A and B are shown apart, each in its own frame.
Chain A
Amino acid sequence: MTTQEQHSVGLVSPRLFSYEQPFALQNGDVLPGFNLMYETYGELSERGDNAVLICHALSGHHHAAGYYEGDQKPGWWDHCIGPGKAMDTNKLFIVSLNNLGGCHGSTGPEANNPETGQAYGPDFPQVVVKDWVASQALLADHLNIDCFLAVVGGSLGGMQALQWSIDFPHRLKNAVLIATAAKLTAQNIAFNEIARQAITSDPEYRSGHYRTKDTNPDHGLMLARMIGHVTYLSDDGMANRFGRELKSGDIDKVLDVEFQVESYLHHQGRSFTQRFDANTYLLMTRALDYFDPARETGGELVTALERTQARFLIMSFTTDWRFSPERSKEIVDALIAAGKDVASTVIESEHGHDSFLLPIERYTDALRAYLDRAYATSAQQQSH
Chain B
Amino acid sequence: MRSDLELVAKLIQPEARVLDLGCGEGDLLDNLQQEKSVIGYGLDKDAENIRTCLSRGVNVIEQDLDQGLSNFNDDAFDMVIMTETIQSVREPERLLKEMLRVGRECVVTFPNFGHWRCRMQLAAKGKMPVSSHLPHRWFDTPNIHLCTFSDFESLCADLRMHIIQRRVVNQQHEERSVINLAPNLFGSYGFYHLGRPL
**A-to-B contact residues, CB < 8 Å:** 311, 313, 329, 332-333, 336-337, 339, 341-346, 362, 365-366, 369-370, 372-373, 377
Q: With A333-B71, A336-B72, A337-B73 in contact, do A369 and B55 touch (Cβ < 8 Å)?
A: yes
**B-to-A contact residues, CB < 8 Å:** 17, 39, 41, 47, 50-62, 71-73, 76
Residues of A within 8 A of B41 (CB): 336, 342
Closest to B55 in A: A369
Contact B62 A346 (CB under 8 A): yes
Contact A343 B51 (CB under 8 A): no
Q: Which of B47, B52, B54, B76 has most A Cβ within 10 Å?
A: B54
CA distance A341 to B38 in the complex (A): 11
| Selected contact of B51 from candidates A341, A342, A366, CB within 8 Å | A366
Contact B53 A343 (CB under 8 A): yes
Q: With A336-B72, A336-B76, A373-B54 in contact, do A343 and B39 touch (Cβ < 8 Å)?
A: no
Besides the known contacts A336-B41, A344-B60, 7 further A-B residue pairs in the complex with CB atoms under 8 A apart: A313-B54, A332-B61, A336-B72, A342-B61, A343-B50, A343-B54, A373-B55
Contact B76 A343 (CB under 8 A): no
CA distance A336 to B17 in the complex (A): 10
Contact B61 A336 (CB under 8 A): yes
Residues of B within 8 A of A362 (CB): 47, 51
CA distance A365 to B47 in the complex (A): 10
Contact B55 A337 (CB under 8 A): no
Contact A366 B59 (CB under 8 A): no
CA distance A359 to B39 in the complex (A): 33
Contact B50 A345 (CB under 8 A): yes
| Selected contact of B57 from candidates A339, A344, A377, CB within 8 Å | A377
Contact A366 B50 (CB under 8 A): yes
Residues of B within 8 A of A342 (CB): 41, 59, 61
Closest to B47 in A: A362
Residues of A within 8 A of B60 (CB): 343-345
Contact A373 B57 (CB under 8 A): yes
CA distance A339 to B73 in the complex (A): 12
CA distance A346 to B55 in the complex (A): 17
11 pairs of residues in contact across A and B, judged by CB atoms under 8 Å: A329-B71, A333-B71, A336-B76, A343-B50, A343-B59, A345-B62, A346-B62, A365-B51, A373-B55, A373-B56, A377-B57
Residues of A within 8 A of B56 (CB): 373
The distance from the CB of B97 to the nearest CB of chain A, in whole angstroms, is: 20
The number of residue pairs between A and B whose CB atoms lie closer than 8 Å in the complex comes to 54
Closest to B73 in A: A337
The distance from the CB of A274 to the nearest CB of chain B, in whole angstroms, is: 39
Residues of B within 8 A of A333 (CB): 71-72
CA distance A324 to B51 in the complex (A): 21
The distance from the CB of A273 to the nearest CB of chain B, in whole angstroms, is: 39
Residues of A within 8 A of B55 (CB): 369-370, 372-373
Contact A343 B47 (CB under 8 A): no
The distance from the CB of B17 to the nearest CB of chain A, in whole angstroms, is: 7
The distance from the CB of A330 to the nearest CB of chain B, in whole angstroms, is: 9
The distance from the CB of A180 to the nearest CB of chain B, in whole angstroms, is: 16
CA distance A373 to B57 in the complex (A): 6
CA distance A342 to B61 in the complex (A): 8
| Selected contact of A341 from candidates B17, B52, B59, CB within 8 Å | B59
Residues of B within 8 A of A377 (CB): 57
CA distance A366 to B51 in the complex (A): 6
CA distance A344 to B56 in the complex (A): 14
Contact B39 A339 (CB under 8 A): yes
Residues of B within 8 A of A343 (CB): 50, 53-54, 58-61
Closest to B53 in A: A343
Residues of A within 8 A of B61 (CB): 332, 336, 342-344
The distance from the CB of B155 to the nearest CB of chain A, in whole angstroms, is: 28
Q: With A343-B61, A373-B57, A377-B57 in contact, do A337 and B76 touch (Cβ < 8 Å)?
A: yes
Contact B54 A366 (CB under 8 A): yes
CA distance A105 to B71 in the complex (A): 44
CA distance A377 to B76 in the complex (A): 28
CA distance A109 to B184 in the complex (A): 76
Residues of A within 8 A of B72 (CB): 333, 336-337
The distance from the CB of A355 to the nearest CB of chain B, in whole angstroms, is: 15
Residues of B within 8 A of A313 (CB): 54
CA distance A362 to B56 in the complex (A): 17
Q: With A329-B71, A339-B39 in contact, do A369 and B59 touch (Cβ < 8 Å)?
A: no
Residues of B within 8 A of A345 (CB): 47, 50, 54, 60, 62
Q: Which of A311, A336, A372, A377 has most B Cβ within 10 Å?
A: A336
CA distance A124 to B58 in the complex (A): 45
Closest to B17 in A: A339
Residues of B within 8 A of A370 (CB): 54-55
The distance from the CB of B21 to the nearest CB of chain A, in whole angstroms, is: 14
Closest to A361 in B: B47
The distance from the CB of A250 to the nearest CB of chain B, in whole angstroms, is: 46
Closest to A346 in B: B62
Closest to B56 in A: A373
CA distance A313 to B55 in the complex (A): 12
